[in-house]
Amino acid sequence: FVTFMTGDLFVSRPHLLSHPQRYFYFFFCYIPVFIWQCIKANIDVAYRVVHPALPIKPGIVKVKTDLKSDTGLTFLANSITLTPGTLSVDIDKERGVLYVHWIDVKSDDSDTATRIVVKRFERILRKIFE
């Protein structure tokens, strides 16, 4: 009861989150993708840690996002941060940009970095939060 009454204090338009289809996307689409990405990232980071040459190329990349809601952006930033090897540094909501510290920058190009880092989560989070 308390959560229902105070939900709008923390989430804009909380009634949208009560739709069963959003729960379906969260539990059956987002959670498996997130777990799979974490497993792959853990293996990658573990390899880099035990490799004698320590093959890393750290850097901060600018990635674009189409998410507009605060909750969606927060979930995206937290998903990136909780995935080993990446860390959300800043969000520029007006320009739709996240700055991400990446342990092994594969591309300095913003579009390529966006495709690699963000798109795996963004497509699902848009269906849940927007």
pLDDT of the residue at 4: 53
pLDDT tens for residues 25-54? Answer: 888 999 999 999 999 999 999 999 998 898
pLDDT of the residue at 97: 95
**Confidence band, pLDDT 50/70/90 cuts, at residue 5:** low
Structural domain total, the chain: 1
**Cβ atoms within 10 Å of 114's Cβ, excluding its own:** 21
Would you say residue 118 has pLDDT above 70?
yes
**Confidence band, pLDDT 50/70/90 cuts, at residue 18:** low
pLDDT of the residue at 43: 96
Quote the CA–CA distance of 34 and 42 in Å, as a whole number: 12
- The pTM (predicted TM-score) of the whole model is 0.83
pLDDT tens for residues 51-105? Answer: 889 889 999 999 999 999 888 899 999 999 999 999 999 999 999 999 999 999 9
Quote the CA–CA distance of 101 and 88 in Å, as a whole number: 6
Phi, psi of 102 (to 5 degrees): -125, 130
Give 16's contacts (C-beta < 8 A, 6+ positions apart): 22, 129
Domain span including residue 47: 2-129
Would you say residue 11 has pLDDT above 90?
no
Strands (E), the chain: 59-64, 86-92, 97-102
Would you say residue 122 has pLDDT above 60?
yes
Consecutive H or E run containing 89: strand 86-92
Length of the chain: 130
